[in-house]
Amino acid sequence: MTDLYKQYKEFGITENVFRYCENVLDSLEERFKAIDKTAEYNQLKVLKAMQDARVSVECFNSSTGYGYGDIGRDKLEEVYRNVFKGEDALVRPQITCGTHALALALMSNLRPGDELLSPVGKPYDTLEEVIGIRESKGSLLEYNISYKQVDLIDDKEFDYEGIRNAINDKTKLVTIQRSKGYATRPSFGVDEIGKLVKFIKDIKPEVLIMVDNCYGEFVEDKEPLEVGADMIVGSLIKNPGGGLAPIGGYIVGKKECVENAAYRLTSPGLGKEVGASLNVITSMYQGLFLAPTVTASALKGAIFAANVYERLGYNVFPKADDVRHDIIQAIELKEEKALLEFCKGIQYAAPVDSFVTPEPWDMPGYDSKVIMAAGAFISGSSIELSADGPLKPPYNVYFQGGLTWPHVRFGIINSLQKLHDANLVIDSRL
Ligand SMILES: *Cc1c(COP(=O)(O)O)cnc(C)c1O
């Protein structure tokens, strides 16, 4: 019995479950090495961006009120611009979440009469109301901004002919979602996005291309602006906040796009000049500094979970051996009880609220009950170890995050232990 197992035993992990997971891990050495390499590359990218912007202790004197002349805020935007290779950036605690950042980017860069195109199928759930696919107050549709969508072929390939046909005089902005989010289509690699960007720009060079970058940051060594996108958008309580940023969103890209967003976020005439950084600016810097290694931990967790469960006969998306483009892992658990037990395993593995049992609830906007497990320092943070799933067949659980690799590893092992204890997974190895 190893010393490490002694720790696991304290949490009720049986020796067989521990050993099975150790064996899975042994086979992942090469893949984890590659992830560490990407993290190292991205760590230096972030470091260089901070040095080039001459970040200093003055940057942490956050402002209040109007926030005029807030050096820390302005430098943080310079750092983001450097990291993601844009002309300008808007990174603010006043951007409340990812949906807000995306809505802001869309509403500020589209005008009445324009058309928005999604060439990658249905966008993330919450954007349906932003766009007006589902009727909603203040949607783009209310402002006479129309929307077209081209679905993926077989839910995975770009429909190039369909996209060509969909682009017209009114097409002003194209939105590409990098991560599958909670759909079952694959997520797109940065180079794949680059191909699509080129195809669209060849047809209509002046069209603006926005990438919903949520969950994709630092997974690869390149980001979408480097392959021709005009604007990337994301949330600071996901990858780039590194688990430390307590709030915020970002838009990085062409100067004109970012300016439009700034005038919309604050006010025409004011733009980026106002917006106090409050007491969160240091965490935004620190979080970005940690983001490459935190993302690597989450990625290792996703791959580990896929391998642990696929080898026990479960369907997983992406597959155990698939190349990763984001940090989300889905596991088809097949029965309601298994979904509940899995989520208990994640909840009981948390540093915060480990003593509560997650209960399914009627979440607004969903057509079935949803269960969520999260014991996070930052409320709703999905770069921290978390799992959720709708209570309907095939009982998929979506699993993501993990600030440190040892913690994600424990969380996954604990989920399996819960399934095993409830006799929901019968396997001679356990
Ligand atoms: C999380 C997410 C969003 C929305 O972000 P919120 O912070 O939850 O509002 C949008 N798109 C994708 C792909 C996401 O993963």
Nearest-angstrom CA–CA distance, 138 and 207: 24
For residue 97, which atom of ligand 1 is closest to its CA?
7
Summarised one tens digit per residue, pLDDT across range 42-71 is: 999 999 999 999 999 999 999 999 999 999
CA of 192 to the centre of ligand 1 (A): 21
Residue 365: pLDDT band (50, 70, 90) is low
Return the amino acid letter for 104.
L
For residue 124, which atom of ligand 1 is closest to its CA?
11
- Strand (E) positions, 93-223? 115-118, 146-149, 171-177, 208-212
What percentage of the chain reaches a pLDDT higher than 90?
96
Residue 367: pLDDT band (50, 70, 90) is confident
| The pLDDT of residue 182 is above 90 | no
Nearest-angstrom CA–CA distance, 316 and 305: 9
**To test ligand 1's pocket by mutation, which of 118, 214, 383 has the most ligand atoms within 8 angstroms of CB?**
214
Nearest CA to ligand 1 atom 14: 214
CA of 237 to the centre of ligand 1 (A): 10
| The pLDDT of residue 240 is above 60 | yes
Nearest CA to ligand 1 atom 5: 98
- Rg of the chain on CA atoms, in Å: 22
Nearest-angstrom CA–CA distance, 201 and 194: 10
Helix (H) or strand (E) holding 419: helix 405-421
Nearest CA to ligand 1 atom 3: 98
Question: Which pLDDT score, from 0 to 100, does residue 104 have?
Answer: 98
For residue 237, which atom of ligand 1 is closest to its CA?
7
Integer angstrom CA distances of residue 82 from 47, 72, 223, 266, 331? 10, 15, 12, 23, 36
Are 284 and 236 a contacting pair, CB within 8 Å? Answer: yes
For residue 182, which atom of ligand 1 is closest to its CA?
15
CA of 124 to the centre of ligand 1 (A): 7
CA of 262 to the centre of ligand 1 (A): 20
* Average pLDDT in the chain: 96
Question: Which pLDDT score, from 0 to 100, does residue 1 have?
Answer: 57
Chain length of the chain: 430
Question: Can you tell me which residue has the tokens 């009445």?
Answer: 112
For residue 249, which atom of ligand 1 is closest to its CA?
7
Average pLDDT of the segment spanning 277-288: 96
Residue 248, classed as helix, strand or coil, is: coil
CA of 125 to the centre of ligand 1 (A): 8
Nearest CA to ligand 1 atom 6: 98
**To test ligand 1's pocket by mutation, which of 188, 212, 219 has the most ligand atoms within 8 angstroms of CB?**
212
| The pLDDT of residue 183 is above 90 | no
Residue 256, classed as helix, strand or coil, is: helix
Summarised one tens digit per residue, pLDDT across range 296-344 is: 999 999 999 999 999 999 999 999 999 999 999 999 999 999 999 999 9
Determine how many CB atoms are found less than 10 A away from the CB of residue 138. 12
CA of 197 to the centre of ligand 1 (A): 21
Question: Which pLDDT score, from 0 to 100, does residue 184 have?
Answer: 75
Are 173 and 146 a contacting pair, CB within 8 Å? Answer: no
For residue 235, which atom of ligand 1 is closest to its CA?
7
Q: What is the pTM of this model?
A: 0.96
CA of 211 to the centre of ligand 1 (A): 12
**To test ligand 1's pocket by mutation, which of 120, 126, 213, 250 has the most ligand atoms within 8 angstroms of CB?**
126
Question: Which pLDDT score, from 0 to 100, does residue 366 have?
Answer: 72
Residues with CB under 6 Å of ligand 1 are 97-99, 102, 124, 126, 177, 179, 181, 212, 214-215, 235
CA of 94 to the centre of ligand 1 (A): 16
For residue 99, which atom of ligand 1 is closest to its CA?
9
Nearest CA to ligand 1 atom 8: 98
Nearest CA to ligand 1 atom 2: 214
Question: Can you tell me which residue has the tokens 């290694």?
Answer: 293
CA of 297 to the centre of ligand 1 (A): 20
